Amino acid sequence: MENRKAFNYDAQIVKIEEEIERYRKLKLRLYEDLADGIITKSEYTEFRNAYTARIEEKTEVIERLKKEQTQPAVTGMTNHAWVQAFAQFKNISRLDRRVLISLVDRIFIYENKAIEIQFQYRDEYEAIFRYVQEFETMPAAAG
């Protein structure tokens, strides 16, 4: 599964790089079209700006994909001990000593009878949670 995700990113990046190259070639041909009188100066400027914008958009998409590709969630985060610890208890029906020892670091009981549970691996969990939040707020890839 991990290799398939990495391959999918690589395939997307290659496809977008091919699109960028196509826009670059179109942009280079514009001057020839202008010189040959096929397009006007204003059309030349309009097309050049449009192609430049597309190239920039596609370049940003590649940068985002490369960043995502290196994120822990994509690069095999599921192989880490903390994920495996949580996964083995995903369908528990009752809390027992084994679950507590595996997942809970500390339990605080305060005078007002409030309870605070500090889980093991909380830093790793928070890191992946921040990544997911960041990913959800990213704009969709420009097509």
* pLDDT per position as a tens digit, 5-46: 555 778 888 899 999 999 999 999 998 999 999 999 999 999
DSSP strand pairing (104-109 vs 115-119): antiparallel
Q: What is the DSSP string of 3-30?
A: HHHHHHHHHHHHHHHHHHHHHHHHHHHH
- For residue 111, give the 3-state DSSP assignment: coil
pLDDT in the model for residue 48? 95
Give dist(CA 22, CA 83) in Å, integer: 42
103 close to 122: Cβ distance less than 8 angstroms? no
Cα–Cα distance list, 41 to 19, 44, 45, 50, 99 (Å) = 25, 5, 6, 14, 72
pLDDT tens-digit series, residues 36-48? 999 999 999 999 9
- State the pLDDT confidence band at 80, using cuts at 50, 70 and 90: low
- Is the overall model pTM greater than 0.75, yes or no? no
